Amino acid sequence: MMKKERIGIYGGTFSPPHVGHHCALSAFLQQERLDHVYVIPTLQPPHKPLQGDASPQQRLAMCRLAFADLPITVSDIEIKRGGKSYTVLTLEELKREDNTLVLLCGSDMFLSIDRWYRPERIFALAEIVYVQREGGEHAEQVAQALAAQAMRLQQQYGAVTRPLACRAIEISSTMLRQELAQGNETSFLSPSVKEYIDQCQLYT
């Protein structure tokens, strides 16, 4: 039998993409033996209103800059499709008989994934790899919550999930937008993304 292609998928708002995203994506590439990886900026996230003033095209451009050094493809399929960016629709679009889909998500997403649209179908279409965002004093508590969620998803849906080994970087795009709005320097953005943000006067 032919070996199935392994397709990695990393979705998000990426407004803006930051070092936390980059670190998780690098570990994903290193640990999951993937043949192709698609970074897919959402058009409208179903679970949160769009924040900040970057357009979909600008978020695509920032992803291309932020992950330029990694062997990934930034895809506009959710932006092109229009409407709410349900992950299940993207998985349906990418799934083939001869591939395995592997979806990367951070702890916040993993802990809420069973409340997304059609979770049973998501777990039938893809394996889930989750990465812990929280370090410091909450690290242990979050690690336990993630393990409990993995167990629950396995029992309830037969979901295939596993953790990604990656050092936690406690940064979010929300925090970055606040720093940028205040004109503060940050080391959590790649220089190319920072330059793009300055040029386009985003998040002012």
DSSP 17-83: --HHHHHHHHHHHHHS--SEEEEEE-SB-TTS---SS--HHHHHHHHHHHTTTSS-EE--HHHHH-S
Any idea what the Cα angle at residue 157 is, between residues 155 and 162, rounded to 5°? 75
- Contact between 91 and ligand ATP by CB under 6 A: the answer reads no
Nearest-angstrom CA–CA distance, 25 and 10: 8
- Contact between 63 and ligand ATP by CB under 6 A: the answer reads no
Per-residue contact string for residues 116-155; x = within reach of ligand ATP by CB under 6 A = ---------------x-x----------------------
Nearest-angstrom CA–CA distance, 101 and 7: 5
- Contact between 108 and ligand ATP by CB under 6 A: the answer reads yes
Where does residue 15 rank: exposed (0-12), middle (13-18), buried (19+ CB within 10 A)? buried
Any idea what the Cα angle at residue 98 is, between residues 105 and 107, rounded to 5°? 5
Closer residue to ligand ATP in complex, CB, 51/96: 51
Select from 8, 9, 13, 194 the one that contacts ligand ATP (CB under 6 A). Answer: 13
- Contact between 172 and ligand ATP by CB under 6 A: the answer reads yes
Closer residue to ligand ATP in complex, CB, 1/136: 136
Smallest separation, CB 88 to ligand ATP (Å): 15
Closer residue to ligand ATP in complex, CB, 53/96: 53
Select from 7, 8, 9, 20 the one that contacts ligand ATP (CB under 6 A). Answer: 20
- Residue 99 token pair: 């591939």
Select from 171, 180, 197, 202 the one that contacts ligand ATP (CB under 6 A). Answer: 171
- Adjacent-strand bridge partners of 123: none
- Contact between 90 and ligand ATP by CB under 6 A: the answer reads no
Binding site for ligand ATP (CB under 6 A): 12-15, 20-21, 24, 51, 105-106, 108-109, 131, 133, 169, 171-174
